């Protein structure tokens, strides 16, 4: 039987193996730039593609996912900013509930609206507690979500939020400083959250160098997501993958 995306995330976590996810923004991914990212991702053995964003204005989503599926076997996870960003061509959907905010629409409202379409899509649905952390300046996600991010130095708020998310039944926690964040999430906050949950922890937002990716993994992140930095310099794919995959696994 084929392993589901979530099972593979759990297996990796169990082994202590860290994963590298490349975030693709369908608005910026034309066929030729995507092609070069895909070639480098295959070579570097990237683990996942996340596709989506807080604000997607093009209708390129299906095309973009189909191109990834045609050229690679790397699983594609939808990372939707709104119910319009659902595609049956992906492998799984991060069904994000913004547990760090108090905007009922992003906690449950949009899920109610999208539920019949999500069900019909046949996608593997992974309930994900999404936590936006202050990245030093407003990001698209902090503006669009109309909800306060968790202050960057309040690790206790972050860990209590993540614990509540897990106990409410979330299968993943995704801590995000927002795409292009000035300051990525501190390793102190990542460690505090990782020590208090048993489900896989995804960390992203503003990670620009391989050293920070490595440190985040050592602090307890299971999956590192990188978008902006790779859009600017695709050669980072190789470096990031090498750093993330070099973190020693549990014996």
Looking at the Cβ atoms of 209 and 249, the one nearer to ligand 1GP is: 209
Distances (CA, A) of 197 to 110, 161, 166, 167, 192: 26, 10, 7, 9, 9
Nearest distance in Å: CB 250, ligand 1GP: 25
Residue choice 60, 145, 179, 216 for contact with ligand 1GP (CB under 6 A):
179
Round to whole Å and give the CA distance between 213 and 157.
23
Residue 71 DSSP code: H
The SS3 assignment for 83 reads: coil
User: Does 176 help bind ligand 1GP (rule: CB under 6 A)?
Assistant: yes
Q: What is the dihedral of CA 109, 25, 76, 46, to 10 degrees?
A: -140
User: Does 225 help bind ligand 1GP (rule: CB under 6 A)?
Assistant: yes
Q: Where are the beta strands (DSSP E) in the chain?
A: 19-24, 48-51, 76-78, 92-98, 124-132, 172-176, 201-204, 223-226
User: Does 86 help bind ligand 1GP (rule: CB under 6 A)?
Assistant: no
User: Does 181 help bind ligand 1GP (rule: CB under 6 A)?
Assistant: yes
User: Does 165 help bind ligand 1GP (rule: CB under 6 A)?
Assistant: no
Looking at the Cβ atoms of 83 and 180, the one nearer to ligand 1GP is: 180
Stretch of 6-14, 111-119, 174-182, 210-218 contacting ligand 1GP, by CB under 6 A = 174-182
Nearest distance in Å: CB 120, ligand 1GP: 26
User: Does 228 help bind ligand 1GP (rule: CB under 6 A)?
Assistant: yes
Helix, strand and coil content of the chain, in percent to the nearest 5, comes to: 45, 20, 40
User: Does 51 help bind ligand 1GP (rule: CB under 6 A)?
Assistant: no
Strands 201-204 and 172-176: parallel
User: Does 23 help bind ligand 1GP (rule: CB under 6 A)?
Assistant: yes
β partners of residue 92: 77, 124
User: Does 226 help bind ligand 1GP (rule: CB under 6 A)?
Assistant: yes
User: Does 81 help bind ligand 1GP (rule: CB under 6 A)?
Assistant: no
Contact letters for ligand 1GP, residues 189-208 (x by CB under 6 A): ---------------xxxx-
Q: Which residue is nearest to ligand 1GP (CB)?
A: 204
Round to whole Å and give the CA distance between 76 and 24.
10
Contact 54, 145 (CB under 8 A): yes
User: Does 52 help bind ligand 1GP (rule: CB under 6 A)?
Assistant: no
CA dihedral over 40, 240, 202, 111, signed as positive or negative? negative
Looking at the Cβ atoms of 129 and 205, the one nearer to ligand 1GP is: 205
Report the interface residues with ligand 1GP, using CB under 6 A. Answer: 23, 176, 179-181, 204-207, 225-229
């Amino acid at each position: 039987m084929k392993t589901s995306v979530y099972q593979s995330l759990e297996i990796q976590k169990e082994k202590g193996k860290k994963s590298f996810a490349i975030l693709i923004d369908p608005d910026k991914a034309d066929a030729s730039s995507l092609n070069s990212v895909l070639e480098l991702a295959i070579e570097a053995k990237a683990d996942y593609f996340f596709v989506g964003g807080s604000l997607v204005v093009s209708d390129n989503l299906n095309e973009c996912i189909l191109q990834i599926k045609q050229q690679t076997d790397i699983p594609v996870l939808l990372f939707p900013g709104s119910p319009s960003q659902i595609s049956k061509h992906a492998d799984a959907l991060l069904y994000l509930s913004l547990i760090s905010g108090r905007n009922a629409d992003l906690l449950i409202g949009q899920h109610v609206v999208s539920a019949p379409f999500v069900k019909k899509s046949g996608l593997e649905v992974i309930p994900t507690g999404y936590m936006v952390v202050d990245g030093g300046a407003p990001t698209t996600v902090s503006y669009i979500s109309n909800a306060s991010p968790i202050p960057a130095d309040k690790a206790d708020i972050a860990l209590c939020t993540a614990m509540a998310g897990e106990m409410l039944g979330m299968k993943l926690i995704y801590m995000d400083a927002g795409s292009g964040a000035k300051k990525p999430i501190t390793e102190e906050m990542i460690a505090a959250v990782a020590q208090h949950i048993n489900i896989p922890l995804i960390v992203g937002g503003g990670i620009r160098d391989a050293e920070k990716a490595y440190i985040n993994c050592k602090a307890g992140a299971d999956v590192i997501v990188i978008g902006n930095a790779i859009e600017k310099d695709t050669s980072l794919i190789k470096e990031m993958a090498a750093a993330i995959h070099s973190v020693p696994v549990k014996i």
